[in-house]
Structure 1
Amino acid sequence: MANIEHDNEKVWDLAEKIGFCMLTTQSGAELKARPMSAHGERVENAFYFLTDVESHKDEEVEQHPNVCLAFADAKGQKYVSISGVARVLNDREKIHDLWSTPAKAWWDSADDPSIRILKVTPSSAEYWDSPGTLISYIKMAAAAVSSTRPDLGDHNKVEM
């Protein structure tokens, strides 16, 4: 059980450290991804995003609530993919809680009536946590010479 808890914490730690993700939704038969600033709430087992009522992702989520959040720190070789179910909320108090400087690029204030919250409740995740690009390349080269598989860090699938 401790290993499951460790893996779950690892997912949250990596996602929070990276901060931005590609949110993938379904539009008809196509998948669409866009960068979003994620606000993780471990205790609630939820990720929150500020979104605009005029955006297409709200309609996409209503039609197809299953989404994917893909976090990537390419320099650090750390990645997290989280599958979950999304809902659009008009929770004005939560909007004020999530309001931050980056949101000012899109809206004048937290009181803007077009702001909505996209809440994603994770169901499962997968993470890759490598020691970094240089060390990974060295380990791959050593493995190629010795005909073994390189140890490139932690990788696991997690139920959330």
Structure 2
Amino acid sequence: MPDVGKLKEHLWKKLTDGPVMMVGLSEPRSHAEPLTAQLDKDQVDRIYFFVGKDNRLAGGGSAMAQFVSKGQDYFACLSGQVAIDNDRRMIDKLWSRPVEAWFPGGKNDPDLALLRFDIDEAELWEADMSLSGKLKMLFGGKIRADEEGSHAKVASTAI
């Protein structure tokens, strides 16, 4: 049985370590694009992205986001709703030098938009395979369920 709490905790840690996600609209269906997640530790089930006002996601709607950690040992597929939310306090809170590199006009750049992704549900995988499982994989042995890692479908990513 997976430790769902740990899976959720690891999602936020892994996103902090490597925050790039692929995000796309479900309807109308569009190709996903890489965006840098802006995380607010005070908000549950919500991720922000700075985008241009003409970005294909700016119209909002049902969306999917996929994440693969830097070490390729953690995977997430998130579904929910995206919408522009130009809350000035959130823009100030999430603003950073890397964001400024994309928006030379700073926080007042006329092209700047803050996209909010509200997570409705998520599916999480963690490849915490045991040493014996890794050896079996290298040499073609059968991997038991207790050697393959953790997986869970969750209605909330709250820890």
TM-score (structure 2 length as normaliser): 0.78
The aligned length equals: 150
1:18–1:73 contact (8 Å) kept in structure 2: yes
| Cα RMSD for the two superposed structures | 2.6
User: 1:116–1:135: structure 2 CA closer, same or farther, 3 Å change rule?
Assistant: farther
Aligned partners of 1:136 and 1:55: how far apart in 2? 43
User: 1:41–1:137: structure 2 CA closer, same or farther, 3 Å change rule?
Assistant: same
Correspondence 1:89 to 2:88? no
Aligned partners of 1:139 and 1:66: how far apart in 2? 41
SS in structure 2 of the partner of residue 48 of structure 1: strand
For 2:54, give the aligned amino acid: E
1:14–1:80 contact (8 Å) kept in structure 2: no
User: 1:124–1:47: structure 2 CA closer, same or farther, 3 Å change rule?
Assistant: same
Correspondence 1:114 to 2:107? no
The residue number in structure 1 matching 2:56 is: 56
The residue number in structure 2 matching 1:22 is: 22
Alignment of 1:34-73 (within 5 A): 34-45=33-44, 46-59=46-59, 61=60, 65-73=61-69
For 2:43, give the aligned amino acid: E
Deviations 1:22-75 (A, max 9, x none): 1121463x331111110123432210111111222212x2xxx11112111263
Q: Please state how far the C-alpha of 1:11 moved relative to its aligned partner.
A: 3.0
1:156 aligned to which of 147, 152, 156: 152
SS in structure 2 of the partner of residue 10 of structure 1: helix
SS in structure 2 of the partner of residue 95 of structure 1: helix
User: 1:111–1:135: structure 2 CA closer, same or farther, 3 Å change rule?
Assistant: farther
What are the ranges of 5 or more consecutive residues in structure 1 without an aligned counterpart? none
The residue number in structure 1 matching 2:96 is: 100
Q: Please state how far the C-alpha of 1:140 moved relative to its aligned partner.
A: 2.4
Q: Which has the higher helix share?
A: 1
The residue number in structure 2 matching 1:123 is: 120
